Chain A
Amino acid sequence: MSDFQIKKSSTVYDAIIVGSGAGGGMAAYVLANAGQKVLMLEAGQYFDPRIDSHQMKWPWESPRRGAGTTRPFGDFDASYGGWELEGEPYTKKDRTEFEWFRSRMLGGRTNHWGRISLRMGPDDFKPKDGLTDDWPITYADVKPFYDKVDRMIGIYGSVEGIENEPDGIFMKPPKPRLNELFIKKGAEKAGVKVITGRGAVMTESIKGNNDRAPCFYCGQCGRGCKVYGDFSASSCLVIPAVSTGNLTVITDAMVREVITNKDGTAKGISYVNRKDLQEYQVNGKLIILGASACESARILLNSKSSQHPNGLANNSGVVGKYLHDSTGAGVSGFLPQLMDRKRYNEDGLGSIHIYSPWWLDNKKLDFPRGYHIEYGGGMSMPSYGFGGGVPTMNGLVPDKNGKMKDAGGYGSALKDDYRRFYGTGVGMAGRGTAIAREDNYCEIDPDVVDKFGIPVLKFHYKWAKEEILQAKHMQETFLSIMKEMGGIVTSTIHGPETNYGLLAPGKIIHEVGTIRMGDDPSKSALNKYCQAHDCKNLFVVDAGPFVQQGDKNATWTILALSMRTAEYILAEKKKHNI
């Protein structure tokens, strides 16, 4: 007899949730608090920011001084993951590009995200551009859930009354840093609106929540917060849900597929343990996928049966299609007027202090939709790469005696230049709406499996003129802001041959749309509550259901939609509909 066996559990959970990020975490939180017995499967290892965060470490506590050799966002960044994972490949079709970022950890990518929390607006759900598709829901449908998420998790911001940038229920926002005041002044001259940032960082305590403490302004949200001062799904959703006694979490559980009954309904999940490579099967009355837009699509496409020959929830054939990531392009440089600046602590908080919501009228533009601008710079903690630009910058401006000198150098003069230029940096990055297109997709690569034997995804993604023209506009805008603020640009100024600096799709890590919702089962995988048209006890709660993103970062909408789906599940259960 061989050693190979599948360990089957006899327990039938009320729900099995795949993935512990924003979507899976929120669904687990709502269901467990309502008394449902829930099992959560997470592909990565356990992570509790209180124990595992590298917050407050100094650069010398990392042998690589915080460099990104093993973690794309640096050695102290919270993410166990990246665009490449050992033994878990993905492939690309027709020499197109897509970079797929995966975090293998409790809380998923919410552990390292920028905490930038923007609501999608009325025009994002029902676009007026004549090009992009309507959602089956409106802003009014989602607003109550955005409100609840705001109150439950905490978000700072300022009330502005901008129609398509809806206000939330805000805590007090952080004050701008010095370089941000220069940005504000320069941007206004360039005709670009700048407002207070909006982020999922608690700047005030939340009544009744004794597990979390307000921000103490170390500016290190990306490392995870030991006092749970910011939002991550691990600290704010999954760990509290476990403490209800109703949620069981199994980590290192890499899901193969959803098992279905003969009648086509979902029965359970088959998974492999990443550590001991044993095979398991668990059963639940409901299956909720929150593995990320692409990973959930992969699971569905790999869940083929006689009832679901096209993959689960895929009678329409849309699963994997309409993949879209935000557009992204940036410009950076420095402000000579900030040279020799006085030192003080301006860490602030680790999300955005200011930003520019989309401010223009498309009638006067050659591209649809728009982008928002995120800004950075200042006297931050040194890490690997520090001062890299100084030997170039010191040839661009006069020295202390007012004389121009040759770029480069060494010795005391150079050492003094590092001091003079510290904290003068300024950067801006656009994050914009990419168009959901049927021809940008992921599918199963029939030829390749990962180290667990699971067929992998193959991507096909091309930017089109809408995104490229948007990137061109971004770059022109950034250069004009830099000029108006008296900044000197040091980053590459891109032309048409590099799509004006438009980053490869997947680089912004806002990928959505692969399991779209809709009213028509022939054109969508899920109904407006994220329930599969073809399998009533299957739901998707990550960014897969997005029909069309706005320029807004996806997380706040994932949280609101997941909460909405979880409440719908509870209501349907009450009515015995599922």
Chain B
Amino acid sequence: MNRRDSLKAIGLTALSTTLLVGACKDSAEKEVVSTAESTAGREPWETERDQKLKNETFFNKHEMATITVLVDIIIPKDEISGSATDAKVPEFIEFIVKDMPDHQVPMRGGLKWLDIQCFNRFEKPFIEASAQERISIIDEIAYPNKAKPEMRAGVSFFNRMRSLTASGFYTSEIGVRDIGYVGNTPNQWAGVPDDILKHYGMQDIKV
């Protein structure tokens, strides 16, 4: 196989998927594309399992609303990229807790813990609290080393929430662009660029 043929062989999958999904505004058509894609390179039980999980719902409306507020506190929009909700992080979290059931109790319980904390202080659930009220609680659970002992359950919950948010955000198109990963494309690796070698004083290091 020559280089052009080989690029064609890869392009068939990588390129056409992007083009098709990009071109299809209709979500039903998108579904068809992704189903056809998902059978190659999958065992039948994997495809069935994914489909089953997608048809289930774990979080209720209130929980999802709370998650939506939390993920944007963790990763807000800034001058470089959009927010966690722009990157559909809540939808990812809904899927991943079904995929990894170990997340379910700590997430459900943690959301409840947060609401109770909020209620005891402000007599309203977290999503109805003001931005300032919300942050006052977040500040007590976002820094593990200085959190008060009685807040440790909240710290555990926030650690998990923060990890899932980062996972969901940086694996989205928005997040990959933000972090600056520029690979996953056919190329020739010629080693570290000269200006970088110079910057780190590594010109003379040879393996």
Closest to B145 in A: A407
Closest to A64 in B: B99
Contact A386 B76 (CB under 8 A): no
Q: Is A45 an interface residue (CB 8 A)?
A: yes
Contact A63 B54 (CB under 8 A): yes
Contact B185 A63 (CB under 8 A): no
Interface string of A182-195 (1 = CB under 8 A from B): 10110000000011
- A residues within 8 A CB of B190? 175
> With the chains together, A212 CA to B188 CA distance in Å?
17
Contact A385 B167 (CB under 8 A): yes
Of B43, B49, B176, the most chain A CB neighbours within 10 A belong to: B43
Give the B interface residue count (CB, 8 A): 74
Segment 24-72 of B: residues with Cβ below 8 Å from A: 37, 40-41, 43, 45-46, 49-50, 53-54
Q: Is A141 an interface residue (CB 8 A)?
A: no
Interface string of A550-569 (1 = CB under 8 A from B): 00000000000000000000
Segment 84-99 of B: residues with Cβ below 8 Å from A: 92, 95-96, 99
Known: A217-B187, A391-B159. A411 touches B182 (CB 8 A): no
Contact B95 A63 (CB under 8 A): yes
> With the chains together, A353 CA to B190 CA distance in Å?
12
Q: Is B191 an interface residue (CB 8 A)?
A: yes
Give the A interface residue count (CB, 8 A): 88
> With the chains together, A538 CA to B159 CA distance in Å?
57
Q: Is A510 an interface residue (CB 8 A)?
A: no
- Identify which of B50, B166, B183, B195 contacts A387 (C-beta below 8 A): B166
Q: Is A408 an interface residue (CB 8 A)?
A: yes
> With the chains together, A219 CA to B189 CA distance in Å?
10
Q: Is B207 an interface residue (CB 8 A)?
A: yes
Nearest CB of chain B from residue A67's CB, rounded to whole Å: 7
Contact B196 A217 (CB under 8 A): no
> With the chains together, A211 CA to B180 CA distance in Å?
34
Nearest CB of chain B from residue A567's CB, rounded to whole Å: 29
Known: A64-B99, A65-B92, A346-B192. A412 touches B185 (CB 8 A): no
Q: Is B20 an interface residue (CB 8 A)?
A: no
Closest to B13 in A: A56
- B residues within 8 A CB of A229? 6
- Identify which of A55, A343, A407 contacts B10 (C-beta below 8 A): A55
Contact B99 A57 (CB under 8 A): no
Known: A63-B99, A345-B182, A381-B183. A227 touches B171 (CB 8 A): no
Interface string of A209-239 (1 = CB under 8 A from B): 0111110111100001011110000000000
> With the chains together, A140 CA to B185 CA distance in Å?
42
Contact B166 A175 (CB under 8 A): no
Interface string of B1-24 (1 = CB under 8 A from A): 111011101100110010000000
Contact A382 B179 (CB under 8 A): yes
Interface string of B153-194 (1 = CB under 8 A from A): 000000100110011101111011011111111111111110
Contact B14 A52 (CB under 8 A): no
- Identify which of B50, B171, B182, B187 contacts A384 (C-beta below 8 A): B171
- A residues within 8 A CB of B144? 391, 407-408
Of B175, B180, B188, B207, the most chain A CB neighbours within 10 A belong to: B207
Provide 8 A-B residue pairs closer than 8 Å at the C-beta atoms, listed in order of the A residue. Answer: A55-B10, A63-B99, A65-B168, A184-B205, A211-B1, A216-B10, A337-B200, A384-B171
Binding site for B on A (CB under 8 A): 45, 47, 50-61, 63-67, 69-70, 78, 80, 86, 174-178, 180-182, 184-185, 194-196, 210-214, 216-219, 224, 226-229, 337, 341-349, 353-354, 379-388, 390-391, 395, 406-412, 414-415, 418-419, 422
